[in-house]
Amino acid sequence: MGLLLEFEGKIVFQEAGIPLLPGKVAYNLEEAIATAEDLGYPVVVKGQILHGGRGKAGLIKVVKDQKELKELTPKILAGTIKDMKVQNVLIEKAAKIANELYISSMFDTYSREIIFIMSTEGGIDIEAVAEKTPKKVRTERYPIDFEFTTKQATELSKSLGFKGDELKQLTDILVKMWDAMHTKDLQLVEINPLAILDDGQVIALDSKVIIDDNAIYRNALYQEFMDKRIPDDPLEDKAASFDVAFVRLDGDIGIIGNGAGLVMGTVDLIAEFGGRPANFLDVGGGASTERVLNALSIVKAVGEEGEAIDVLLVNIFGGITRCDDVANAVVEVREKLGLEMPFVVRLVGTKQKEGMAILDKAGMNAFTEMEPAVKRAVEIAKSK
């Protein structure tokens, strides 16, 4: 999966016209000092790593002068989260924030829709907001070929209570996100937080961008991003050797699916229902016993190295792949690996009835619809 570092995502934002704070990536202390001097203190030093929880890990710091910068930057550059290494640091001008929002758009390959999720509560886990105050979260779906204009963007913005110049700025950002999804081969755009500054500017303070892996070859910018990466997560390297797209996340619900859009839709739906995804894993085409074995071994390792995985959600749309073959592979590999956590399996497609019968016999939670399967996985995780 083409998950970008924050600064890479912000380069994409800049090309799309989404407003940002002044900043520049630095690969060493000398570059950090030069950038901070150009921007003027205070600045924010943000470790660039393909993992959440940077603030809690001490990898994001506001510094008020060069002395603090010299003290903190080497520590951030040497930082790790679960064996993943900081790649470099983003130095940005510190901002005076009046309010923080959450906004995201993602492409669901299963429904062929772009889904917007927005909340007046930003800067914290959207999962927690959805669970505690669901009325503060707005979700809208639009067909991929829908003519999304300022009208729809304005309606979305107004639904969250915005008006005046803030409404105009937020509307403009939504339209630019839509356009970027279509023109830049994006699967996900998440801004958390999208900040309203003291002077009324609406600015993207963070970026989470996922690009379509299949489009990297035709985009020189994306190729440059990947060429400069420092290999950092042994599990990602292992997954790549299996030809499996994998990204480690922070939660307790393991995920396996086929198709990047379907897996991203699963991740977002888990969050919408108040759960916490532990990983992104796209097993790709086919679901042979070997591919399922490789995928489950990766998810098992996630639980062993980090927070325990309380439930495993397998979401498979069978086209050419037969559902009974998938079901047999899941049952066989679960026993082979000795996995004791509950399984929730959603199967739809060719030989669906036969596959469901196999799963029922094995005592697994079996579903043909995505929403009830995700809800069940979240319920199991919360009961632990």
Q: pLDDT at position 266, please?
A: 92
The domain over range 22-93 is classified in CATH as 3.30.1490.20: yes
Distance CA 5, CA 207 (A): 8
- Tell me how far apart the 2 most distant CA atoms of the chain are, in Å: 67
- pTM tops 0.85: no
Query: Which tens digit of pLDDT belongs to each residue from 349-364?
Result: 888 999 999 999 998 9
pLDDT at residue 129, as a whole number: 63
Give the highest mean pLDDT range of 1-15, 128-142, 217-231, 257-271.
Answer: 1-15
The answer to whether the CB of 19 falls within 8 A of the CB of 263 is no
Please say if the pLDDT value at position 108 is more than 70: yes
Top CATH class of 234-383 equals alpha beta
CATH for the 97-215 domain, from 3.40.50.300, 3.30.1360.120, 3.40.1190.20, 3.30.470.20: 3.30.470.20
Question: Which residues are tagged catalytic?
Answer: 102, 190
Domain spans in the chain, listed from the N-terminal domain onward: 22-93, 97-215, 234-383
Residue that has been written with the tokens 């993943």 in this structure: 84
Same fold, 22-93 and 234-383: no
Q: Where does the pLDDT of residue 305 fall: very low under 50, low under 70, confident under 90, or very high at 90 and above?
A: low
pLDDT digits (tens, 9 = 90+) for 29-71: 999 999 999 999 999 999 999 888 898 899 999 999 999 999 9
- pLDDT one-digit tens code per residue, 283-292: 876 667 788 8
Mean pLDDT of 237-247: 82
380 vs 95, 182, 247, 273, 309, CA distance in Å? 41, 36, 23, 12, 11
Place of tokens 């489950």: 296
